Amino acid sequence: MATTNALTRRDTRRTEWRGDGTSRDAPRWDSRDDDHVGERLATFLGWFSIGLGVTQVVAPRDFARFIGVRDAEENQKLIRLVGLRELTTGVGILTRPKPAGWVWGRVAGDAMDIALLGGALLSGAPRQDRVAAATLAVLGITALDVKDAVKLSRASVSPDKLLDLRTIEVRKSITISRPAEEIYRFWRDFRDLPRFMEHLESVEVTGDRRSHWRAKGPAGKIVEWDAEITEDRPNELIAWRSLENSEVDTSGSVRFVPAPGGRGTEVHVEMRYSPPLGVVGAWIAKLFGEAPEQQLRNDLHCLKQVMETGEVIKSEATVNGGYLWQHPAQPPAQVPAGRMGR
């Protein structure tokens, strides 16, 4: 009875909110709480962008010296461009009633700045202590940007939609001039996947339906996870997913469908994953040219080359000035029988 009375008193205190004889329910948390906090923080970030941008555009030489990099002309041009980006983002944040997209733009800009400062550290900047301090400062402001972007997104997007934004789905197909059973047999041994999936370092088979994967993430970071086969229909379908508590939350499937007119096999791949940093991780991956749709498209073309010709021709035009090089791969027919299937 005492407990009931105590609860009643607490409830009464919550309802008698105004203290003037009128009553209303105590305020409960809703998305507007995040909206108000997010908007106040966004206003600060908007003015911060404008102040930083003005400094970078007006005094790029002094800014270069302040952060510890060389004040060469090319660096000054780059700093002015970054300053223009900051000004644009700041104006966008301050003039939009729902600036979540502009704040996410700041997050993308932060990732670019971190990459540039990291390059300055590796290239031997004259004042590496200042570059390191600037990098730490950018990391700190990045944390604020991410916090605010998430608050604004949560306030303006339903929970189900927000969850969808954090999950990336990719679907790609390709026709390969090989029978379905041959492609299925090759794919079914996951140890062969790194031969055509460029981002994969290795796949170790740990059981009849389980395996351990190592892959290269954005900026060369190595990520690892364990996966299991969830469905296996010989010559038709393979489906898999990462195990619970894995570093990477991913799942996928590949279907092998005979192509019309006896032209080989249509390979249909679906992949879903949640990057370690959610939407931010996906944006950072794209900045480094490692978006999942790009990876899957390239991987399927490499698979086609391996299955049809036994070798992969990769272009390093974007890295080494347009040179082509061949990465020989063993034709599927020459792979030892133990590697081709179970």
Q: What is the reported pLDDT for 157?
A: 52
**E-only strand ranges, the chain:** 168-176, 200-205, 210-216, 222-233, 237-242, 249-258, 265-274, 311-315, 324-328
Q: Is the pTM of this model over 0.85?
A: no
Q: What is the reported pLDDT for 218?
A: 59
Handedness of CA 218, 224, 225, 228 (dihedral sign): positive
Q: What are phi and psi of 9, to 5 degrees?
A: -65, -40
Give the residue extent of every domain in the chain.
31-157, 167-308
3-class state of residue 157 by DSSP: coil
Arithmetic mean of pLDDT, 114-125: 79
Choice among 7-16, 110-119, 257-266, 271-280 with the minimum mean pLDDT: 7-16
Give CATH for domain 167-308. 3.30.530.20
